[in-house]
């Protein structure tokens, strides 16, 4: 009984203290919420605005929350003063405090904005919940921080980065001088930084199963502002031809948003990616085996694959490049047109395909296949074709967008929530598992995330909700039997479902394609921490110069994995270079680390930096690439590479040549369309 009275007494005291805290908060002109070592979030009680400072430096001010509910735009200005509460938290990110601002009004739904702050993190997380107080609400727009005034740097010094939503249609990242643009809208995450000092402000969504989100930076009379919101739809970016889907319920929450300022924006982007992986845990099993390396047929053979030429590729791997392995495995992956080996199409005889898989295994190699599970490539043949694995026709399964359908890349999207789609997934995946495949490359996944006017599952109202249904079903069907490699796909939402993700769109061999790929590494390398691995796509040596070959190979090594693509069923210069380069122990040691190199510069627009760096254990590496048509000399200060001044030499990993580093500056000259990868070693 004494214990009961003690608990009751302490419970009463907790409530009393909370009431006193909330009432005192109302009386204050501003409320301080701390995070990390020196971060302060300031809530202006009268203006209802949010400001943030770190280490005594103002980062932004005047940001407000706003939403659209049942077609009505509502701002925190429409409410009287918020009630503040706080509680201790201890979650997967660490220990800290959760501050909550609750806005109530008899004519409006309740808005609840929370701020999650951590003792050991230099960022905070914010989220908004809309409560209908017993009534259903509907929204496709929630902004936790709207029109915040950025103040950490001069506008003339700032770069703003366009981050794509996906890697489709050869889209590029774009780092723009902020004072030269009126505004920039970036998918999922916004980055604003000074390229010289590297100081940077980062804000981005941490959850991707309901909403597509965006960050807009605005140049307003030479003053930078930003807004972040969930409910983003833009045809040239998200590929959607209709507005973002409506989210309904008694309560609707925004994604959690990461907000941080860093002395080096690269550190911030890596922490953002790592935080994504903690907050939105992978649905797929963790890949704890060695870094994947191998071959994919789309590099050269493309639609010409058959049993004869693909088994000869396996022979080449087994007999000519046996050291091209990380661990004891390399993958031989059949891309599109593996059904050339299936008599009667997808509903036919898979025995020859199984024979291929068995042959690879007999050579100590892992067989891989390919599929685009949420697309209909034969849609022009009409709607009445029966979908494999069910009694449904494709026309019943097509994703509807108003009076038409979602067509992109030549394929029509099929509804990921439709039972015909899901039965088809089960049918094809079970066939591939029965053949013994150990890897699958899944493609055109953005089709599964398209906004639709109506999904089969009426509980699903947004593209991201549909994506979750389809991708979770696919992963469950695979049942832990295969390495999952995502090709064309949403950047952030796919990390729950894939081990490896291609960083850019298709690339093969030329210096221009290498530069295009490395644009995505330049500004998207941080995704190496959101996935087990990111990949540079197939490396092809055929028909270009040795320098371009070297650049293409280096582009893959510094992205984190290595998938080749030449026709190794035939002999040629590509096979000679493969024997020499793909068995280079130092290159394979870097690949085994499996982590992308960092960019040195971030002011390259749609192009890319010429220098990437990485520290692996006690070893330092630097990749230098010349994308130009003439030779070029480079003078690279060690300090800019993150290397302490000292006595060093460079070791060229291709030629074993040693180059002395003088006066703490690396001086190298590269030929036209060439690249080299160096190890920095003590003299």
pLDDT at 27: 58
Are 440 and 382 in a shared domain? yes
478-506 core/surface letters (b: 16 or more CB in 10 A; e: else) = beeebbbbbbbbbbbbbbbbbbbbbbbbb
Question: Do the strands 658-660 and 648-652 form a parallel or antiparallel pair, or are they unpaired?
Answer: antiparallel
Are 361 and 415 in a shared domain? yes
Are 569 and 639 in a shared domain? no
The residue among 14 and 29 whose pLDDT is bigger is 29
pTM here is: 0.94
How far is residue 432's CA from residue 439's CA, in Å, rounded to a whole number?
10
Instruction: Give which of 362, 306, 303, 370 is closest to 333, Cα–Cα.
Output: 370
Residue 110 — very low, low, confident or very high, per pLDDT cuts 50/70/90? very high
Beta bridge partners of 226: 148, 217
8 domain residue, yes or no: yes
CATH of the domain at 175: 2.70.98.10
pLDDT mean over 521-531: 98
Q: Which of 563, 594, 625 is the last residue of a domain?
A: 594
Are 494 and 577 in a shared domain? yes
Residue 7 — very low, low, confident or very high, per pLDDT cuts 50/70/90? very low
Residue 683 — very low, low, confident or very high, per pLDDT cuts 50/70/90? confident
- Arithmetic mean of pLDDT over the chain: 95
- Using an 8 Å Cβ cutoff, are 675 and 631 in contact? no
602 domain residue, yes or no: no
Residue 28 — very low, low, confident or very high, per pLDDT cuts 50/70/90? confident
Are 387 and 486 in a shared domain? yes
pLDDT digits (tens, 9 = 90+) for 639-681: 999 999 999 999 999 999 999 999 999 999 999 999 999 999 9
pLDDT digits (tens, 9 = 90+) for 183-223: 999 999 999 999 999 999 999 999 999 999 999 999 999 99
286 domain residue, yes or no: no
Are 544 and 668 in a shared domain? no
243 domain residue, yes or no: yes
643 domain residue, yes or no: yes
Are 438 and 486 in a shared domain? yes
**Count of domains in the chain?**
3
pLDDT digits (tens, 9 = 90+) for 390-443: 999 999 999 999 999 999 999 999 999 999 999 999 999 999 999 999 999 999
Are 274 and 361 in a shared domain? no
User: Helix 351-362 and helix 419-435: axis angle, to 10°?
Assistant: 50
Domain with 368 in it:
293-307+318-594
Q: 3-state DSSP: the chain helix, strand, coil percent, rounded to 5?
A: 30, 35, 35
pLDDT at 17 over 60: no
pLDDT digits (tens, 9 = 90+) for 263-289: 999 999 999 999 999 999 999 999 999
Are 577 and 631 in a shared domain? no
Are 574 and 636 in a shared domain? no
CATH of the domain at 413: 3.20.20.70
pLDDT digits (tens, 9 = 90+) for 154-178: 999 999 999 999 999 999 999 999 9
Are 454 and 415 in a shared domain? yes
pLDDT digits (tens, 9 = 90+) for 317-327: 999 999 999 99
């Amino acid at each position: 009984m004494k214990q009961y009275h003690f608990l009751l007494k302490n419970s009463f005291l907790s409530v009393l203290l909370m009431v006193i805290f909330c009432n005192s908060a109302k009386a204050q002109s501003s409320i301080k919420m701390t995070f990390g070592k020196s971060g302060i979030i300031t809530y202006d009680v009268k203006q209802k605005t949010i400001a943030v400072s770190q280490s005594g430096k103002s980062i932004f001010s005047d940001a407000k929350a706003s939403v659209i509910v049942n077609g009505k735009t509502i701002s925190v200005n429409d409410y009287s003063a918020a009630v503040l509460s706080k509680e201790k938290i201890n979650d997967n990110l660490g220990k800290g405090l959760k501050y909550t601002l609750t806005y109530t009004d008899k004519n409006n739904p309740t808005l609840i904005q929370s701020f999650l702050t951590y003792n050991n993190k230099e960022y905070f997380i914010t989220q908004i919940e809309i409560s209908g107080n017993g009534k259903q609400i509907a929204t496709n727009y929630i902004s936790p921080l709207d029109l915040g005034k950025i103040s950490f740097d001069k506008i003339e010094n700032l770069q703003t980065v366009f981050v794509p939503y996906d890697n489709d249609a050869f889209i590029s990242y774009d780092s723009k001088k902020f004072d030269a643009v009126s505004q920039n809208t970036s998918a999922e995450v916004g980055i604003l930084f000074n390229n010289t000092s590297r100081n940077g402000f980062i804000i981005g969504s941490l959850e991707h199963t309901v909403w597509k989100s965006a960050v807009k930076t605005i140049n307003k009379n030479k003053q930078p502002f930003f807004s972040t919101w969930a409910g983003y739809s833009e045809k040239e970016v998200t590929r959607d031809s209709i507005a973002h889907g409506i989210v309904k319920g008694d309560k609707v929450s925004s994604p959690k948003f990461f907000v941080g300022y860093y002395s080096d924006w690269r550190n911030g982007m890596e922490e953002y990616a790592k935080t994504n992986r903690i907050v939105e845990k992978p649905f797929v099993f963790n890949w704890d085996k060695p870094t994947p390396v191998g071959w994919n047929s789309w590099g050269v053979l493309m639609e010409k694959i058959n049993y004869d030429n693909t088994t000869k590729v396996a022979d080449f791997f087994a007999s000519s490049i046996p050291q091209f392995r990380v661990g004891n495995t390399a993958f031989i992956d059949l891309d599109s047109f593996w059904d050339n080996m299936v008599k009667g199409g997808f509903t036919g005889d898979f025995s020859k395909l199984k024979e291929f898989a068995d042959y690879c295994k007999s050579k100590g190699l892992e067989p891989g296949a390919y599929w685009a599970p949420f697309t209909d490539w034969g849609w022009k043949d009409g709607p009445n074709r029966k979908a494999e694995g069910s009694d449904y026709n494709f026309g019943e399964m097509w994703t509807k967008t108003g009076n038409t359908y979602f067509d992109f890349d030549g394929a029509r999207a099929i509804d990921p929530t439709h039972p015909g789609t899901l039965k088809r997934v089960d049918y094809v995946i079970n066939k591939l598992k029965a053949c013994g495949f150990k890897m699958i490359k899944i493609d055109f996944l953005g089709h599964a995330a398209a906004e639709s006017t109506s999904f089969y599952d009426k509980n699903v109202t947004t593209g991201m909700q549909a994506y979750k249904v389809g991708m979770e079903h696919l992963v469950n069907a695979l049942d832990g039997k295969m390495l999952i490699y995502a090709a064309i796909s949403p950047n952030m939402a796919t990390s729950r479902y894939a081990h490896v993700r291609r960083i850019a769109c298709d690339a093969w061999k030329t210096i221009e394609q290498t530069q295009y790929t490395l644009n995505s590494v330049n500004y998207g390398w941080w995704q190496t921490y959101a996935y087990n691995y990111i990949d540079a796509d197939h490396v092809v040596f055929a028909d270009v110069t040795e320098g371009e070959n070297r650049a293409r190979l280096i582009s893959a090594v510094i992205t984190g994995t290595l998938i080749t693509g030449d026709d190794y069923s035939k002999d040629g210069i590509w096979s000679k270079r493969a024997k020499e380069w793909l068995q280079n122990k130092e290159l394979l040691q870097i690949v085994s680390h499996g982590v992308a190199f960092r960019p040195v510069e971030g002011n390259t627009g749609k192009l890319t930096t010429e220098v990437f760096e990485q520290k692996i254990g006690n070893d330092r590496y630097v990749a230098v690439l010349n994308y130009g048509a003439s030779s070029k000399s480079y003078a690279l200060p060690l300090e800019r590479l993150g290397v302490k001044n000292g006595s060093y030499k460079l070791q060229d990993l291709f030629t074993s040549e040693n180059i002395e580093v003088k006066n703490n500056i690396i001086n190298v000259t590269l030929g036209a369309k060439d690249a080299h990868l160096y190890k920095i070693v003590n003299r």
